[in-house]
Amino acid sequence: MRIALRELRRRPGRFAVATSILTLISILLIVLGGLLDGLTASNTGALRSQRGELIVYSADAESSLVRSRITTAIRLEVERVAGRGNVSGLGSVQVGARVPGRGPRDLVPVVLFGYQLAPRQLPEVVPARDEVYADSSLVARGVRRGMIVRLGQARSAVRIVGFLDDSRFSGQGTLWGSLATWRSVIAANRPSERAGAGVEQALVVRTAGRSASREAAAIDRATAGATRTLTIEQAIQALPGVSAQQTTFNQIIWVTIAVGVLVVALFFALITVERVALYGVLKAIGASSRTLFAGVVLQALVVALIASAIGAAAGIALDLMIPVGGAIPFSASAARLVTSTVYLVAAALVGCSFSLRRVLRVDPAAAIGAGDA
């Protein structure tokens, strides 16, 4: 082990190529993971910010807020199962926002949500009519506290009273106001989609400690199949493109990890061939194959950790340079940095393990004889 560390310290150039390639792989892993996390966050923040555990859609809505309509009669059935205080309405409409200081045709796409149960980070008291909270990503678009923003073709005026983080939906910034605000905006801008009094697009249900899956099944039975009730995670996975994005990016990440395994395997295979005579001498004076291979593993681990540290620093720098809500959805979270490091270290350990057989087969007499020849 000491010999392995001494070689790393005295001959770092020998490991420069492997470290450089693994650094590039580390950066690629972090960039891919950051893009995946950024895309997922920009599409699902509005659902993840809910304080309830279940989302109730109408059965024919295909788990889409836009298509869903929950009538007063259906809501009463849901309340009988979950309790009236645990059920709240939710509505949404996608519109273009005219922000002061931007051109008349330079619209900012937003999703206006009407709610009864306040999302996380917001006060429990629902804001007054025509007052909304805005997602912090809209700051980059010029939205400020106290500003009057006009929505849609009807230019419905709403005033920004505060901000919340990580509540984007479908890749767009969000506004959060009362159901009355939502109804007035949708009636003015989308008359064909207007929702009458007592009609919401979906219901957010708190289970109050009960089993979410059993509660969901009970709600759908009580409404005689008129609803489809999902957990928050199920609702997220049902959003268009979310599952496909995750599958595609994860496949690319695993291919990248496989390349890392191949790089380490080839590098340490060459290193081991060069060290056959040295291993023969060490075995002749009593070193075991386990000790020799432990040195190989240690070197692979150190190289992978150095590459991971450089990759993590690059990922953090990239995250700081890209604004929240910018054109590139990127998020270098601590969990992603740790996961990428674990993947790269695992790839390095698996890759160097291919040298084990060659180390075990080193014969001291033959290796020393070959070295003397």
Confidence check: pLDDT of 2 > 80: no
What's the average model confidence in pLDDT over 215-235? 95
Task: Give the global pTM.
Answer: 0.80
pLDDT of residue 321: 87
Q: How confident is the model at residue 3 (pLDDT cuts 50, 70, 90)?
A: low
* Mean of pLDDT values over 284-310: 82
Structure tokens at 250: 């994860």
Residue 370, Ramachandran bin (φ over 0: left; ψ between -120 and 50: alpha; else beta)? alpha
Least confident of 22-26, 111-115, 241-245, 274-278: 274-278
Domain boundaries, the chain: 2-43+242-372, 54-206
DSSP class of 103: -
Rounded to a whole number, what is the distance in angstroms from the first to the last CA of the chain? 28
What is the mean predicted confidence (pLDDT) over 64-83?
93
- The model's confidence at residue 240, banded by pLDDT at 50, 70 and 90, is confident
Q: What are 145-162's pLDDT values in tens digits?
A: 999 999 999 999 999 999
Give the pLDDT of residue 355.
Answer: 77
Average pLDDT over residues 65-79: 93
Dihedral, 136, 138, 141, 145 alpha carbons, nearest 10? -70
Q: What is the mean pLDDT of residues 67-95?
A: 94
CA distances from 53 to 50, 117, 203, 235, 367 (A): 8, 12, 11, 10, 66
Map tokens 């109730």 to a residue. Answer: 56
The predicted-structure confidence for 257-278, as pLDDT tens digits, reads as follows 999 999 888 888 887 777 666 6
Say what the pLDDT of residue 24 is: 94
pLDDT of residue 223: 95
pLDDT of residue 99: 94
**Alpha carbons 116 and 93: distance in angstroms, whole number:** 16
Lowest mean pLDDT among 146-160, 187-201, 300-314: 187-201
What is d(CA 12, CA 299) in angstroms, rounded to the nearest whole number?
A: 11
The pLDDT of residue 257: 93
Lowest mean pLDDT among 200-214, 235-249, 341-355, 357-371: 357-371
282: alpha, beta or left, given left = phi > 0 and alpha = psi -120 to 50?
alpha
Q: Which among 94, 113, 98, 91 is positioned nearest to 155, based on CA atoms?
A: 98
What are the residues facing 327 on neighbouring strands?
none
